[in-house]
Each structure stands twice: as structure tokens, then as C-alpha cells.
Amino acid sequence: MIEFKEALEYLKKREVTANELANYSGQSAGSLFLVLNGTTKNPRRNTKDAVVAYAKILMEKNKEGFDGDTVYSNDENVLDKKDKNYIKKLALEIRANKEALLHEQSFKDMIYIEALKMALLAKEGESISMQKLIDLNN
């Protein structure tokens, strides 16, 4: 269960505004602004409850977690397009430098990268085959 201080930090990291929180909770934006910026050190119980409840709603909606410092995804099925593009660029770079890599310690890294690609394919629910890896590299 998330505590008030952690929920407050999460909302700050997500850059939630006092107006957004006020729209959810029905409380005044002015008093919520003072809570969000740290001026109000000990808010009322209903304000704390609203902060915790809204943080939980956002975390659930966005499939996120928070470790007190970092917002992270809890969605194990997410592989966003940026990640796919990065992997494709990395695969192209590996293909372009394959001969040099074979002569270096980096060969182990190349094998590791291939294993990561297979894991990503499995994460997407696709069957893993050499053809899929070849297609991913193209």
C-alpha cells in the first residue's frame, strides 16, 4: 500500500498540477498547490487520502510503479516503438561490424544481444525462430 509521502512524490514526478488534483478530489486548487509544493507540511486527513487515491488511480491507469525516486512501468507486455527502433538500429550496427566483433571480446556481447532479442520476441508472445531474428535484423 502506498503511503502519503510516496504518493505525493509520485504525483510530483508525474508533474500533476494542483488543478488536476482539485478536479479529481473536489478540494481547492490553492490548498492543493501548497501541499504539492511542500508549503503545507501536515495536510488534513482528507487531503492526504485524496493524494493517495489519485496516485493509485494514475499508477493503475498508466500501469506504473514508484520506488520513491523513479516512476517505472509495471506493464510486462509493453515494448514501445522507441525500444523496437533501438533494437533495429543496434542490429544494423552489429551486422555492419560483425567481422570486427568476431575478433574481439565483444563477441560475447553480440551473443548476449541476440539472446535479448529472443527474449523480446518472447515477451511479445511471438514464437522464436532464426527466421524471426533475421527478420528483426532487416
State residue 126's pLDDT score. 57
* Residue 53: partners with Cβ closer than 8 Å, 6 or more residues away: 24, 25
What domains sit in the chain, N to C, each tagged with a CATH number? Answer: 4-73 (1.10.260), 81-137 (no CATH)
Q: Are 10 and 55 in contact (CB under 8 A)?
A: yes
SS3 content of the chain, % helix, strand, coil (to 5): 65, 5, 30
pLDDT (0 to 100) of residue 83: 64
The span from the CA of 138 to the CA of 123, in Å, is 20
Mean of per-residue pLDDT scores for the chain: 79
C-alpha cell at 24: 479529481
pLDDT at 72: 72
pLDDT of residue 107: 66
Query: For the segment 107-129, what is each residue's pLDDT rounded down to a tens digit?
Result: 667 677 777 777 776 666 655 55
pLDDT at 78 (0 to 100): 56
Q: Can you give the pLDDT at residue 116?
A: 77
Mark the ranges of the chain whose per-residue pLDDT is less than 50.
Answer: none
Asked whether the beta carbons of 72 and 66 are under 8 A apart, the reply is yes
Q: Give the span between the Cα atoms of 44 and 32, in whole angstroms.
A: 11
Q: Quick one: pLDDT at residue 114?
A: 74
